[in-house]
């Protein structure tokens, strides 16, 4: 890993939902080992997943507010126009790539590597890494 706050990573929903993984990634960001980024779509997916898993509405609000407060510059804006121009094996992941492009990210941290093929990411100078590899 490159130790720099200029090293920018877009976090996929599947690495934000599990508390243990999210806390570890957030601690790394807190200690400025990288700069975290995410899309509004990512947080919408996170909220939907928490709801399906039985997390209370109050707890969902608390978790989202804590993440937003801890990393106020993490939300990528104006990535939506790019979504329609991108192609991925799972079209529902295009927002992640769009946010990564807009944020000029180095890495997409995801546990769905097959949904982010190297040949699609490479022209944008982005790589995908699993949490373990990250």
pLDDT in tens, 92-114: 999 999 999 999 999 999 999 99
pLDDT in tens, 35-47: 999 999 999 999 9
Domain ranges of the chain: 8-129
Q: Show the beta-strand stretches assigned E in the chain.
A: 8-11, 35-37, 107-109, 127-129
User: Strand 35-37 relative to strand 127-129: parallel, antiparallel, unpaired?
Assistant: unpaired
Topology of domain 8-129, CATH: Rossmann fold (3.40.50)
Residue 4: predicted pLDDT:
54
* Residue-level length of the chain: 134
pLDDT in tens, 21-34: 999 999 999 999 99
pLDDT in tens, 41-95: 999 999 999 999 999 999 999 999 999 999 999 999 999 999 999 999 999 999 9
Residue 6: predicted pLDDT:
73
């Amino acid at each position: 890993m490159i130790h720099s706050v200029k090293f920018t990573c877009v976090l996929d929903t599947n690495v934000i939902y599990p508390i243990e993984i999210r806390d570890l990634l957030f601690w790394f960001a807190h200690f400025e080992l990288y700069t975290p980024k995410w899309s509004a779509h990512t947080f919408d997916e996170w909220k939907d997943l928490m709801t399906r898993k039985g997390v209370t509405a109050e707890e969902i609000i608390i978790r989202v507010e804590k993440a937003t407060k801890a990393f106020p510059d993490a939300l990528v804006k104006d990535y939506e126009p790019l979504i329609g121009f991108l192609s991925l094996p799972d079209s529902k992941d295009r927002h992640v790539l769009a946010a990564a492009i807009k944020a000029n990210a180095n890495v997409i941290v995801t546990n769905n590597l097959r949904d982010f093929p190297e040949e699609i990411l490479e022209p944008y100078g982005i790589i995908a890494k699993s949490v373990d590899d990250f």
